Amino acid sequence: MILGVSEWLSGKLGWKTSHIRIAFVLSVLLFGVGIGLYIILWLVKLFSK
């Protein structure tokens, strides 16, 4: 992904970055919420510094 959310979230949760990216892709394909969730997490990451 482009904005670094997966790497940031993997550091917070202790998960592998690839697992988080797969979860985002699956959430887009299955539920349609991945893009919105990604943008919300990017905003959280942006303003939490």
How many domains are contained in the chain? Answer: 1
Compute CA 27 distance to the chain's CA centroid, rounded to the nearest angstrom: 10
Q: Note the pLDDT of residue 33.
A: 85
Q: Which residues contact 45 (CB under 8 A, 6 or more apart)?
A: 3, 4, 5, 8, 9
Q: Return the pLDDT at 1.
A: 56
Alpha-carbon distances, residue 36 vs 14, 28, 42, 44 (angstroms):
22, 9, 10, 12
pLDDT at residue number 16: 95
Ranges of the chain with pLDDT below 50: none
Structural domain for 32, as ranges: 5-47
